[in-house]
Structure 1
Amino acid sequence: MSEQHTIHEKVKQRSYLNLQNARKSANKGRYDSDGTRSRIVREAKRRMDGKEPFGWQLDVGEALHLKLDTVLIAGTGSGKTLPFAIPPILGGKVLVISPLLSLQQNQVERFTKEGFKAVAVNSETWSPGLAQRLKAGYDQIIITSPEMCFTHEPFREILSSGDFSKDIVAIIIDECHVVEAWGEKFRTYYKAVGDLRAFFPIGTPILATTATLTPSAQQNLAKTLDIDLDNAFYLNLGNDRPNITYSVKVVKSAEDVEALKEFFNGPYDSREKIEQTVIFVDDHIFAQVVCREIRNWLPPDLRDTVCFFHAGRTKGSKRRVLKKVQSGYCRIMIATDAAGMGMDIPGITRVLQLGVTNSLSTWLQRAGRAGRKEGSQAQAVLLVEESVFHFVTASKNTEGLVPKKTVEPALREWIETQTCRRDKADEYFGNPPRTKRKENYFVFKETFLTTRNQRANWCFCLSAEALMPDTVLSKLATKARLRNVDDIRAEIGDTWALMRKHGDEALAVLRELDEKRLEDKVATTTANRELAKQKRAAEKAERLRLEAEEREKQKAEAKRKQEEVEARRAVLQKEVDRRVQAQIDALRRVTIAHPIPRSPPLSGSSIHNQSMQVPMVQTNLPYTLGSANNYICKILYFSI
């Protein structure tokens, strides 16, 4: 067992020990866990067309019922929302903090369909009638935002009132990864959601749910929400979506609409033949541009199958668009992040992201809109612009090459990896080890059937099919959560006659196969990491070589330019010297030939007598040279 697997098992054991201790201390030791869970199961099946909750959903709901703070990490579409309804099933009310208006409305419609009294409280729905409805205590599930709780005075007064707050048995922070992602700058009131405890009775638990939360973010979240993880119920199921195939495609830019054309080649003669797709972009106007372009690619009678969805649309138009998409009337929806979290539309089988997102978490959240129908297969394609892979020379203060486009390191690693992208996501989010039992099906079948047929007391009386029907074999080989005979019975009922006798043996064979596969995976991962390390070293060496060559080229170019400047300067200096000398010689000749007259000295003076005897030769050479200098300076100025 790997170190990561060991850590996850210890955390899981601690969480379930906390749950068991809460059961023992509840109601002075008279709490009936089995009876409570049976009640939840009956009510859930009645409301959800006979669908039975998973065991982990019951665990989360029971933890809330027993006033345990809870953190739940599970993949998109896994069923994280069902535990929200368990406190209302048991007679309480919950306050749900949800980040998007569209998600709030989607959740209200879902809970209402299941027979719960739910309401969204936001800027679009607020009215005096809604205030009276809240004061009357009509609703079981109140869905709102941090801003409404802290800044909307009428709603804040209702929250603070004892008549309202005494009925709230749990606070639920949905999509809790945004507490850290948005709380610093974008929506700062998310940083204060832990203060919501002050509105409600002491001991009111918090449930924080998400699909994408890194280990460091988990610690920050626990601090913000004042959750003691050592005494809470913490359940990390991982966020892998095995029914979604991920891929990356390089495009010219994030505005390269033509790159989408290959996904809608057709031909289409009916709307049902258009694969239901969500295309994510990051701008309202661009969403409408893409919508218009794709409509032009389709036959005129099918152009209304394309729609766009963003926060800038009116409340009514957003509701109409979502209904058309949910019904299957609209087959292609171009959306911004307004549809990036929690949107539950079962028919979507493909997600396209045009341009890289700001983080790996955002991309996996958007990709998770696909494949939400049970048993469906889906694909998620990240269309990455070329600039992500281009490097440019760093700034003047920094040497070397840097990426032309800045991308979150985890997302860049996910995009560029040559190994399994699921493993990269597991490593980044700290997911528990995945048990791929489906891959072991035929190995298990061969191993177990060979073993059982070798036993004399089996072979003389029963066939292999009688010992273990293929339907049972398939369940055991594909359901990793089956750990004991009771789990097998809960999954398949009493359809296997030899379950008591050979169930543990079958599970032992599976555990052995799982452990072998895990060992192989660890070895493969280690080898891949070593190859990746070698590749990074080679890439670094190549990058350093290119940087050195670039520096040498820059030095050579700088030297060449300097030599050109020096040569030009020498030529100019030579020309200046020549012209100065020529000017001086010319001035001397002119001065000697035409002396400047002087005022005659006074008659009778010695100077007069001398001047009468000696011819005077005098020049104004200093003045003339000064003028020459000015002239030369002008020549230099206009020459340069």
Structure 2
Amino acid sequence: MSSSSEQKWTFKRIRDLVQAKLGKRPCLWQMKVALALYEGKKDVVAVAPTGAGKTLSFWIPLLMVLEDGQDKTGVIITPLNLLGKQSAESELLARAGISGDVEAGKHRVLVVNPEILSMEGGHFERLWKKSAFTSKLLYFAFDEGHCVSTWSEFRNKYKYMANLRYLISEAIPFYVTSATLPDPILHDVVSILQLHPKNTEYICRSNDRPDIHLAVHRMLWPANSFRDLDFIIKSGFKEGDPPPPKFLIFFDARKETEAAVKHLRSRLPESLRGKIKYFHSVMTSEYREDEYNALRDDEIWGLCVTDAFGMGLDLPDVKLIIQYRVTCDANTLWQRFGRGARGDGQEGIAVLFAEKSFFDSERAKAAEKRAKKPKKRKPRTQKVKDSNAKRARIAPTTSESHASEDEDDPDADTVYLEPLKRDETTIRNAQSARLLHPVMDDFINAPTRGFLCRRKPMSLFFSNDKRGES
């Protein structure tokens, strides 16, 4: 990009500009991203930890072009409406004179989801045909860029984002940023967005969060009792007692969030039961925004949530993050754990509550039990001509079909199948079959597999050993 200013942009000049406009000192990786987007010659992929300031990297190149007197606009494509609203209403924008208010005619930055951006006959379809608009575009930024791959099956408009390159005559750089872009997902994102290897700049940091302490808790009670969460609200809790640390508990089903809240509230006096809420996609956007603000402002203690709260939402002082049950992959787990300790100087605790069947010790016991069990000889039966009678004979009775259910077993709805290979460890749930990825297996069983720290499996999965810390 040719600059109207004779002064060249250096890291020192960028740092001084951001410090003056926003009162923040940018990191080296943020300035590298900004400089690459300002020059506009290459697409950019950036990986940085949750809470590291990826949002700031959207604004710095806009500050640079404004400083040079250029009229430019950035487009941020975001998966979640609340995340987009949070970005557009950032205090940083107000301070720097950058606004996302299209209706007011101040569109230095547009925050939009992929469905609106690619709507047939929509507002953007008309804008792509107007060079007066497209000539002002500085970049297309894909916030939480891993969603281009991981969400593309149910948010299929992500699959067609590369079409933007053919709808617009100008060459506008793509900027993909996320905390969780392991190699398989990154390769998929590169393919979907058609990022050319020789025309893409990679700025990748370790995504480790040493300020978040990791733990795995073996569940002791049936999962649907939620009694493993009782430590959050101690027995006999009464008004005036110190509140629990600010917390988020992640589930993969809306009904579970509501049932967990009901259980935790039952341990509180009636006057305090509104201090714990649930937050999922069925709630109205106004409700979710209100509860997000209430947690931010310490009006409530914690939320039981689904992925509607999972990415990018910036609360500085969440102390406790819990993933309830092993129902997600490593990418999702790391995003959820990353909601904790996002403020300067903060520390948090992140705990995976795992069903006992996922632990090596339990697998060994199950294998030993199977080995000792005598093989049953197949009983000889007479041929049955009547097909209905035959089906009745081989069908299990009601008592037989529930013989394996144990009300005191947190894994009552899970059957462990003998794995063919270690990387094909399969757990069959009563509702669906789910595959336990090796990194999750290693994370759960790190102490018995020679890892000195639970971080090690995650660090290897995300290639943190190959990435810098700048």
Question: TM-score range with shorter-chain normalisation?
Answer: 0.7 to 0.9
Q: Residues 185-264 of structure 1: matches in 2 within 5 Å?
A: 185-251=153-219, 252-264=221-233
SS in 2 for 1:432: helix
Instruction: Report how far residue 193 of structure 1 moved.
Output: 1.5
Rg: which structure is higher?
A: 1
Instruction: Report how far residue 31 of structure 1 moved.
Output: 6.4
Instruction: Report how far residue 273 of structure 1 moved.
Output: 3.3
Distance of 2:35 and 2:8 partners within structure 1: 11
2:8 is the alignment partner of 1:32: yes
Distance of 2:105 and 2:126 partners within structure 1: 10
Identity %: 27
SS in 2 for 1:238: coil
Q: Residues 291-440 of structure 1: matches in 2 within 5 Å?
A: 291-389=261-359, 403-405=427-429, 406=434, 407-418=436-447, 419=451, 420-433=453-466
Q: Is 2:258–2:278's contact at 8 Å kept on the other side of the alignment? A: yes
Distance of 1:319 and 1:393 partners within structure 2: 40
Consecutive unaligned residues of structure 2, counting only runs of 5 or more, are: 67-71, 367-414
SS in 2 for 1:33: coil
Deviations 1:550-590 (A, max 9, x none): xxxxxxxxxxxxxxxxxxxxxxxxxxxxxxxxxxxxxxxxx
TM normalised by structure 1 equals 0.57
Using a 3 Å threshold, how does the CA distance of structure 1 residues 401 and 222 change in structure 2: closer, same or farther?
closer
Q: Is 1:165–1:199's contact at 8 Å kept on the other side of the alignment? A: no
Q: Tell me what 1:44 maps to.
A: 18
Deviations 1:154-198 (A, max 9, x none): 223343242332221100011111111122x21111111122223
- Match for 2:454: what amino acid? R
2:82 is the alignment partner of 1:102: yes
2:173 is the alignment partner of 1:144: no
SS in 2 for 1:255: helix
Distance of 1:40 and 1:140 partners within structure 2: 19
- Match for 1:179: what amino acid? V
Across the aligned residues of Structure 1 and Structure 2, the Cα RMSD in angstroms comes to 3.0
TM normalised by structure 2 equals 0.76
Instruction: Report how far residue 272 of structure 1 moved.
Output: 6.6
Instruction: Report how far residue 296 of structure 1 moved.
Output: 2.1
Deviations 1:388-433 (A, max 9, x none): 34565859x99x9954453223222221222122111121111235
Distance of 1:401 and 1:324 partners within structure 2: 41
Instruction: Report how far residue 325 of structure 1 moved.
Output: 0.9
- Match for 1:237: what amino acid? R
- Match for 1:155: what amino acid? H
SS in 2 for 1:106: helix
Deviations 1:513-540 (A, max 9, x none): xxxxxxxxxxxxxxxxxxxxxxxxxxxx
Distance of 1:84 and 1:423 partners within structure 2: 31
Q: Residues 381-530 of structure 1: matches in 2 within 5 Å?
A: 381-389=351-359, 403-405=427-429, 406=434, 407-418=436-447, 419=451, 420-433=453-466
Quick check: which one's helix share is greater?
Answer: 1
Using a 3 Å threshold, how does the CA distance of structure 1 residues 415 and 93 change in structure 2: closer, same or farther?
same
Q: Is 2:358–2:444's contact at 8 Å kept on the other side of the alignment? A: no
Instruction: Report how far residue 113 of structure 1 moved.
Output: 4.8
Distance of 1:51 and 1:64 partners within structure 2: 20
2:34 is the alignment partner of 1:61: yes
SS in 2 for 1:273: coil
Distance of 2:425 and 2:186 partners within structure 1: 34
SS in 2 for 1:287: helix
Q: Is 2:119–2:125's contact at 8 Å kept on the other side of the alignment? A: no
Distance of 1:381 and 1:168 partners within structure 2: 43
Q: Tell me what 2:401 maps to.
A: none
Quick check: which one's strand share is greater?
Answer: 2
SS in 1 for 2:214: strand
Using a 3 Å threshold, how does the CA distance of structure 1 residues 230 and 393 change in structure 2: closer, same or farther?
same
- Match for 1:100: what amino acid? L
Deviations 1:429-462 (A, max 9, x none): 1123589xxxxxxxxxxxxxxxxxxxxxxxxxxx
* Match among 46, 53, 69 for residue 72 of structure 1: 46
